[in-house]
A = this chain, B = another copy of it.
């Protein structure tokens, strides 16, 4: 269907057009001492689009950004698609090899590079890039030949660009997966999907024009769970943040009256263990949306005890970020804080805008739902407008992910009798010990209750008798010095013997750029030289 009196393609671009019209001098973006009104934000976006157009970027062309959560990264979410381009926002914590792979695989013609991250861009190895634009934030020098970002904007016009979108299913962004089990894959989002997920975020986040959103979540991660578009849709304020450290987060929460923040559980752990956390003067209720890994009830409880309200959502890059929400029910209000935190740790039910999600028996050729008994484990699968279009230039991988007409998440979960889904493990993380399934998430949640545990990961290690057994890697809280015996005894008193970790190792945990603990790294080390567990 093409554009007409009764039809207009759905696109997040309509959000900035409306916000610029309605909100004008209202603050759209805050970054340090800089503030852009919606009029200025829109003009900068139009300049970016127009400047890109002048260097030949048009429909279907890929434009990459290697940039932290600063205004140019936000502007890219509108300026690139405005000329029909596709935004590739690259994970800034990847290696030069990975970034090179992504820039080449995505066919990026232009790449914008923040000077701090210039070392991951190896210009000589880039095959399609004809222009590098330097983002010189905080007075940094240019890293490459080519224009500086603000100069580049000046080559464009601040006037609105004519709309070029014809089909709402056109590709708007490509987000590369972290590639923990192989080469990164390019997840393609559509304009329609971005539009709908953004409305879902605004609705489920309870956002309104007074909302102030702090950018603690990387925008390169699922386009910041589509909040890059949602905050603008509702006419709220974006607060940019170059470095995600608790001190700066709390400073901005106070200074900018932040109402909304999204973050992986690991960021929440950092926030709740920050010594001055309880001194923060929150002027409005802080709504925290967390996802990216199942947060332990303990982490949720700690965040709520400093005055935040935590909502867990669940999703993956392939489903535009959050796809389900642990929708709170009034009947749970009377539960005590521990019971509440336990419920909040569930992944919940589908978003209003993404209604198809269920749990099916894994590995079967036909899709068959598991019973909602809270016990039978199966794989979470999704379908609908908030499932990716596919992996860029990887039809086989897309076909495999879409087998049976559903997207397969690789997450193992149970469905409770009330229909709420709870993740027990990643398929590749679950431990099979003497024929028994052990959910590493369950053991981790227990360990988070130990007073000396800051962060923990449980993985399978080889065992001559049981095949594999659990081992816990523990980062202790600062100033504590727990022993392996402490930890093991703590577990013995609380869970079945076969689930108790057989070994404990103390130290920092390896993490992905989005804060997920990389269990495969811990596991690989343990299984070196063996013929299984190599993922």
Q: Which of A8, A233, A390 has the most CB of B within 10 A?
A: A8
Q: How far is the CA of A353 from the CA of B203 in the complex (A)?
A: 13
Q: Is A383 within 8 A of B5, CB to CB?
A: yes
Q: Is A350 within 8 A of B5, CB to CB?
A: no
Cβ of A387 < 8 Å from any Cβ of B?
A: yes
Cβ of A249 < 8 Å from any Cβ of B?
A: no
Cβ of A105 < 8 Å from any Cβ of B?
A: no
Q: Is B203 within 8 A of A206, CB to CB?
A: no
Contacts of A23 on B, CB cut-off 8 Å? 329
Q: How far is the CA of A350 from the CA of B18 in the complex (A)?
A: 8
Closest to A7 in B: B385
Query: A6 is contacted by which of B206, B388, B419 (Cβ under 8 Å)?
Result: B388
Contacts of A5 on B, CB cut-off 8 Å? 383, 387, 402, 405-407
Q: How far is the CA of A23 from the CA of B190 in the complex (A)?
A: 30
Contacts of A353 on B, CB cut-off 8 Å? 199
- List A residues 380-406 near B (Cβ within 8 Å): 383-385, 387-390, 402, 405-406
Q: How far is the CA of A15 from the CA of B199 in the complex (A)?
A: 14
Q: Mark A456-500, 1 if CB is under 8 A from B, else 0.
A: 000000000000000000000000000000000000000000000
Q: Is B7 within 8 A of A349, CB to CB?
A: no
Tell whether A18 pairs with B385 under 8 Å between CB atoms, given A235-B327, A329-B23.
Answer: no
Query: A22 is contacted by which of B1, B18, B210, B419 (Cβ under 8 Å)?
Result: B419
Tell whether A356 pairs with B8 under 8 Å between CB atoms, given A327-B235, A349-B21.
Answer: yes
- List A residues 1-43 near B (Cβ within 8 Å): 1, 4-8, 10, 14-15, 17-18, 21-24, 26
Q: How far is the CA of A175 from the CA of B99 in the complex (A)?
A: 55
Contacts of A18 on B, CB cut-off 8 Å? 349-350, 352, 355
Closest to A199 in B: B199
Interchain nearest-CB distance for A206 vs B (Å) = 6
Q: Knowing that A21-B349, A203-B234, A235-B327 are A-B contacts, what are 12 other residue pairs whose CB atoms are under 8 Å apart, sorted by A's residue number?
A: A1-B169, A5-B406, A5-B407, A6-B384, A8-B355, A8-B356, A8-B385, A14-B355, A18-B350, A18-B355, A21-B419, A199-B353
Cβ of A364 < 8 Å from any Cβ of B?
A: no
Contacts of A418 on B, CB cut-off 8 Å? 24
Q: How far is the CA of A328 from the CA of B406 in the complex (A)?
A: 42
Q: How far is the CA of A350 from the CA of B353 in the complex (A)?
A: 21
Q: How far is the CA of A402 from the CA of B7 in the complex (A)?
A: 13
Cβ of A513 < 8 Å from any Cβ of B?
A: no
Main secondary structure of the interface of A (DSSP, over half): loop
Cβ of A345 < 8 Å from any Cβ of B?
A: no
Q: Which of A18, A206, A402, A407 has the most CB of B within 10 A?
A: A18
Q: Mark A427-458, 1 if CB is under 8 A from B, else 0.
A: 00000000000000000000000000000000
Q: How far is the CA of A279 from the CA of B16 in the complex (A)?
A: 44
Cβ of A512 < 8 Å from any Cβ of B?
A: no
Q: How far is the CA of A17 from the CA of B352 in the complex (A)?
A: 10
Interchain nearest-CB distance for A346 vs B (Å) = 12
Q: How far is the CA of A15 from the CA of B355 in the complex (A)?
A: 8
Cβ of A209 < 8 Å from any Cβ of B?
A: yes
Q: How far is the CA of A472 from the CA of B98 in the complex (A)?
A: 76
For this complex, 17 residue pairs linking A to B, each with C-beta atoms less than 8 Å apart, are A1-B169, A4-B405, A5-B387, A5-B402, A5-B405, A5-B407, A6-B384, A6-B390, A7-B385, A8-B356, A8-B384, A17-B355, A18-B349, A18-B352, A23-B329, A199-B199, A209-B328
Contacts of A235 on B, CB cut-off 8 Å? 327
Q: How far is the CA of A1 from the CA of B2 in the complex (A)?
A: 12
Cβ of A208 < 8 Å from any Cβ of B?
A: yes
Q: Mark A348-364, 1 if CB is under 8 A from B, else 0.
A: 01101101100000000
Closest to A319 in B: B6
Cβ of A202 < 8 Å from any Cβ of B?
A: yes
Tell whether A330 pairs with B210 under 8 Å between CB atoms, given A349-B21, A352-B18, A405-B5.
Answer: yes
Cβ of A193 < 8 Å from any Cβ of B?
A: yes
Closest to A329 in B: B26
- List A residues 172-202 near B (Cβ within 8 Å): 190, 193, 199, 202
Q: How far is the CA of A329 from the CA of B38 in the complex (A)?
A: 13
Q: How far is the CA of A199 from the CA of B352 in the complex (A)?
A: 9
Interchain nearest-CB distance for A6 vs B (Å) = 5
Interchain nearest-CB distance for A133 vs B (Å) = 30
Closest to A233 in B: B352
Q: How far is the CA of A24 from the CA of B417 in the complex (A)?
A: 11
Contacts of A17 on B, CB cut-off 8 Å? 355
